[in-house]
Structure 1
Amino acid sequence: MLGYVVPEKAELKMREYEVYSAYYCGICKSVGERYGQLPRFTLNYDFVFLALLLAATDDETDKISSEHCIIHHIKKKNVLKENAAMDYAGDVMLILAYYKLMDDYVDDHSYPSRMMAMMLSSTVKRLSKYHSSLCELVESQLRELSKLEKEQCAELDRAEEPFARIMEAIFTSSGESNPASLKILKHIGYHLGKWIYLMDAYDDIEENITKNTYNPLLYRFQYEGESIEDFKEKIKPTVEFNLMHYLAEISNAMSLLDLKKNKGILENIAYFGLLRKTEITLEKGETNEQSV
């Protein structure tokens, strides 16, 4: 994922922000303790939402301690401990980062991506023993996405589908056994994947035009060399309609989940954070900063 899935910090209560930060630091610590320090560079906020959502469907009480870390070695930080959803989010983060880096290398011959992927290769080899089906699906769907890019696919639904399927699998491969919850999580993951893909496509229009690289929006709306501002303004109504539709699907599904804890944080992300990121993207096209 790409760092889009964050809360609206101004709307979080102080206690909620502390819990959110504890999940973020908990994922970082979990990865470091289990796989070493290098894999921690893949950390981003999107996976906090995944951990929070999966953890909220069970009755386990959050165990939060105050600890130093490699970055914050003076002031202690709140850290979530002994949480299966948190560990799973860390695993998935590493898997997705590795296959995305390898995909970037194959598609763009990016040697920095290949180097970073090699740093993760031994870790992902270990992870593939525990998440073999998920690894296979991520790899196959990224291959499908690469194929669509080579075909210069102009159909938004087809272009969005591989990443939507990846997110769908990520949200339903944690071991959750309740059929009703799984159905809802599947719906959330699928539409979140579509939202992230389209957000990234709109955000990257200028870069893709400059580098002459694939973007489904350029083919769907037949970019013909007009100014980037005019092109983005022309396609904004359709992009906004689709993004808002995906957010509505996510919000409606969230309301059906039996959230046993941290409901305020999750509702903040689903109802305020994602909407705010959408608004910023549509107006400025720059949302990749992680400012929480």
Structure 2
Amino acid sequence: MFGIIRPCRNRLGPELREAWMAHLCGLCLALRDDHGQFARVVTNYDGLAISAMVEAQSDAGTGRRAAGPCALRGMKTADVSFGRGARLAATVSLVLASAKVRDHVEDGDGVFAHRAARGVGRRVASRWADQAAETGADLGFDTSVLVEAVRRQEEVEAAAGPGSSVLLVTEPTETATGEACAQTAVLAGRPGNVAPLREVGRLFGRLAHLLDAVEDLEADRESGAWNPLTATGTDLTEARRLCDDAALGIKLALREATFTDDRLVHQLFVHELKTAIGRTFGDPHSHQPPPPPGWRPEPGMYPPPQQPYQGNTYGQYAPPPVPPAGAPGGGTPPGPPKPPKKGRKNPKQPGPGSFLWAWPKLVWPPHGRNALAGCLAVLYQCGTCQYCCRDPHPGPWSGKWRDGWCNDCDCDCGDACCCDGDCCGCDCC
């Protein structure tokens, strides 16, 4: 999973925010309970969506337990998810992490250039894969489907070239995520949901792969690393079209499934994915309420023509019709698109950090770490609450600057947001 679902606390609102944190903590604890403390390093935002999907299809009031104090929760207790949903999320996360470590070993990246380190890496990858397979068997889920999909990724990338469809490159990811999401329906006892949720997972895998490629495009060009967009000659306009189509397909497929309570799943897979697309492609964010149904702009309500945004490489954006401030849903027209947030182009160098936050250092341009050093950085950053409170903090493997979880908000409403997670004017249901 790629970590593209990063909800803002103001968009979620108190109830959904509590539910989201319950699944995040539940995934972390499931990894610990089934696979040991070290396995917690593979905890990720997107993996918890699997747990949320299982709960959304299950009977209300099940799948929660009390958990003890944790540093990442400010040493507070909390109700967390547990059971089959959390274990499935942990299994999927562990399989993909195992594949990533194995790829580093085979490529001889960083510390794995040494024979002894390669041996350690192979043992870690094999152990994680075996543990995931054992847990998957307990859940009735054959993890070999995921392993085979990941294995084919290298073959697909080697065969891709100019003129190839980028969707050929994303197909293994689509297969893996599709099977994982379909299994949530099996665990929840909803056989009628298998097909639509497999489609949700397949399109989510496509979207995640494409957004990851767009975010890494500039860095990959500078380093000469392989990127699916560059390799297939896919421009950003086409990538955006594919992302928008995938998001729409997810929204429609979710309508075909039956849920007990789909609020969190809908928020994550519809609204947060839409936000992720906008964040990646540099769309402006706005909390303006939409016009009422049936509203049409009158002559003179359109904003004056504007020049294309200077330096925009993602196509020319024309401002949409915006009602005047006095009209229903009125407000000021949005400004030009902002450049992508991820990567922080030429940021101001912050202080070196002090005490527990003196390592890992923030440097520009970012310096990557090998797999072993990255794992150590994850453990240290988790233990010192850097993911939550240090803003910015370096990515453990890439060294890229990341926003702190407590500050990673795409809106400018701050704590005074009045929308309470319901500002989108959603008419999806």
TM above 0.5, yes or no, is yes
Structure with bigger gyration radius: 2
For residue 230 of structure 2, what is the aligned residue in structure 1? 218
Query: 1:136-164: CA deviations, max 9, x gaps?
Result: 22222222210122234332111110110
Supply the distance in 2 between the matched residues of 1:131 and 1:15 (Cα, whole angstroms): 30
1:119-134 alignment, distance < 5 Å = 119-131=124-136, 134=142
2:79 partner SS: strand
Give TM-score, length-normalised by structure 2.
0.59
2:66 partner SS: strand
Supply the distance in 2 between the matched residues of 1:209 and 1:82 (Cα, whole angstroms): 42
Supply the distance in 2 between the matched residues of 1:57 and 1:274 (Cα, whole angstroms): 20
For residue 209 of structure 2, what is the aligned residue in structure 1? 197
Gaps of 5+ in 1: 223-234
For residue 286 of structure 1, what is the aligned residue in structure 2? 342
Confirm or deny: 8 A CA contact 2:207 2:243 kept in the other structure: yes
Query: 1:32-72: CA deviations, max 9, x gaps?
Result: 12221100011011011111012211115242425213x34
Query: 1:172-197: CA deviations, max 9, x gaps?
Result: 23434533200111010100010011
Give TM-score, length-normalised by structure 1.
0.85
CA RMSD in angstroms comes to: 2.6
1:6 partner SS: coil
Tell me by how many angstroms 1:31 deviates.
1.4
- 149-158 vs 247-256, which moves further: 149-158
Tell me by how many angstroms 1:270 deviates.
2.1
For residue 185 of structure 1, what is the aligned residue in structure 2? 197
Confirm or deny: 8 A CA contact 2:182 2:198 kept in the other structure: yes
Confirm or deny: 8 A CA contact 2:23 2:52 kept in the other structure: yes
Matched, 1:144 2:149: no
Confirm or deny: 8 A CA contact 1:5 1:269 kept in the other structure: yes
For residue 244 of structure 1, what is the aligned residue in structure 2? 244
Higher helix share: 1
State the AA in 1 paired with 2:244.
Answer: M
Supply the distance in 2 between the matched residues of 1:244 and 1:47 (Cα, whole angstroms): 22
For residue 269 of structure 2, what is the aligned residue in structure 1? 270
Confirm or deny: 8 A CA contact 1:23 1:51 kept in the other structure: yes
Supply the distance in 2 between the matched residues of 1:219 and 1:72 (Cα, whole angstroms): 40
Tell me by how many angstroms 1:95 deviates.
1.2
For residue 230 of structure 1, what is the aligned residue in structure 2? none
Relative to structure 1, the CA distance from residue 197 to residue 102 in structure 2 (aligned partners, 3 Å threshold; closer, same or farther) is same
Supply the distance in 2 between the matched residues of 1:100 and 1:253 (Cα, whole angstroms): 30
Supply the distance in 1 between the matched residues of 2:32 and 2:275 (Cα, whole angstroms): 31
For residue 228 of structure 1, what is the aligned residue in structure 2? none
Relative to structure 1, the CA distance from residue 258 to residue 6 in structure 2 (aligned partners, 3 Å threshold; closer, same or farther) is farther
1:13 partner SS: helix
For residue 65 of structure 1, what is the aligned residue in structure 2? 66
Relative to structure 1, the CA distance from residue 108 to residue 162 in structure 2 (aligned partners, 3 Å threshold; closer, same or farther) is farther
Tell me by how many angstroms 1:201 deviates.
1.0
Matched, 1:164 2:159: no
1:79 partner SS: strand
1:56-95 alignment, distance < 5 Å = 56-62=56-62, 63-69=64-70, 71-72=71-72, 75-95=75-95
Tell me by how many angstroms 1:74 deviates.
5.7
Relative to structure 1, the CA distance from residue 170 to residue 218 in structure 2 (aligned partners, 3 Å threshold; closer, same or farther) is same
Relative to structure 1, the CA distance from residue 73 to residue 198 in structure 2 (aligned partners, 3 Å threshold; closer, same or farther) is closer
Supply the distance in 2 between the matched residues of 1:143 and 1:219 (Cα, whole angstroms): 19
Confirm or deny: 8 A CA contact 2:16 2:264 kept in the other structure: yes
Supply the distance in 2 between the matched residues of 1:241 and 1:167 (Cα, whole angstroms): 21
- 177-186 vs 157-166, which moves further: 177-186
How many pairs align? Answer: 278
State the AA in 1 paired with 2:194.
Answer: L
Relative to structure 1, the CA distance from residue 110 to residue 54 in structure 2 (aligned partners, 3 Å threshold; closer, same or farther) is farther
- 59-68 vs 275-284, which moves further: 59-68
1:12-91 alignment, distance < 5 Å = 12-62=12-62, 63-69=64-70, 71-72=71-72, 75-91=75-91
For residue 165 of structure 2, what is the aligned residue in structure 1? 155
For residue 225 of structure 1, what is the aligned residue in structure 2? none
State the AA in 2 paired with 1:240.
Answer: R
Supply the distance in 2 between the matched residues of 1:73 and 1:282 (Cα, whole angstroms): 32
Supply the distance in 1 between the matched residues of 2:49 and 2:132 (Cα, whole angstroms): 21
Supply the distance in 2 between the matched residues of 1:72 and 1:88 (Cα, whole angstroms): 23
Query: 1:2-38: CA deviations, max 9, x gaps?
Result: 1112334322121211111111111111211222110
For residue 227 of structure 1, what is the aligned residue in structure 2? none
Confirm or deny: 8 A CA contact 1:188 1:249 kept in the other structure: yes
2:6 partner SS: coil
Tell me by how many angstroms 1:200 deviates.
0.9
Confirm or deny: 8 A CA contact 2:56 2:260 kept in the other structure: yes
State the AA in 1 paired with 2:147.
Answer: E
Confirm or deny: 8 A CA contact 2:211 2:277 kept in the other structure: yes
State the AA in 1 paired with 2:96.
Answer: L
